[in-house]
Structure 1
């Protein structure tokens, strides 16, 4: 059943269908939750960062910086086994995740 909403357009009335799915984002990645980053991931992420609070890339350079991102060492590309494999996780700070790590994946 579609959701309809009546909209006024000047002196005209139109029905807008609100149940139409949004088109995929550019790049076709979908939303974070569509890619598996849901409440279950957030819970696992918090627990992992509590046990591994230091960015591994900064630590390799002798810098101590708090990690804020749990990164997949090998991109999972939708593979749920690889997604949940904790041996494939690493703690990173946001700058390392968005900089050197992203450059490695290209």
Structure 2
């Protein structure tokens, strides 16, 4: 029986291909997502919150109906477990609004 050939990647791996998103000295520096609180318990709470709040809050403000896929912390928790788990501090956002509008707001205030 003939052996299958290995499929080679079409893109080469460059030494600078990964972008560091954690600022050195940040509260989350050197921590995994689970260590920051985004573990199984969070996944279940997130799933339930999105089930109860299925639409993006930012899109709704401008009259657009978009499914939410991210549970955002209105006030960044920066490791504060009480703030992290406070559902009054959660809002449903679509990925686009979370990755663009919300991130720009946070950069402007920090």
TM-score range, shorter chain: 0.7 to 0.9
Higher strand share: 1
Secondary structure in 1 aligned to 2:38? coil
Q: Is the 8 A contact 1:55 1:93 kept in 2?
A: yes
Q: Which residue of 2 aligns with 1:86?
A: 87
In structure 2, the CA distance between the partners of 1:100 and 1:79, relative to structure 1 (3 Å rule), is same
Distance 2:89 2:41 in 1: 17
Q: Structure 2 length normalisation: TM-score?
A: 0.71
Distance 1:41 1:105 in 2: 22
Q: Which runs of 5+ in 2 are unaligned?
A: 1-20, 24-28
In structure 2, the CA distance between the partners of 1:32 and 1:60, relative to structure 1 (3 Å rule), is same
Q: Which has the higher contact order (CA 8 A, sep 6+)?
A: 2
Runs of 4+ in 1 over 2 A off after TM superposition: none
Q: Structure 1 length normalisation: TM-score?
A: 0.74
Alignment of 1:15-94 (within 5 A): 26-27=22-23, 28=29, 30-94=31-95
Distance 1:69 1:91 in 2: 6
Instruction: Give the aligned length.
Output: 82
Whose Rg is larger? 1
Q: Which runs of 5+ in 1 are unaligned?
A: 1-24
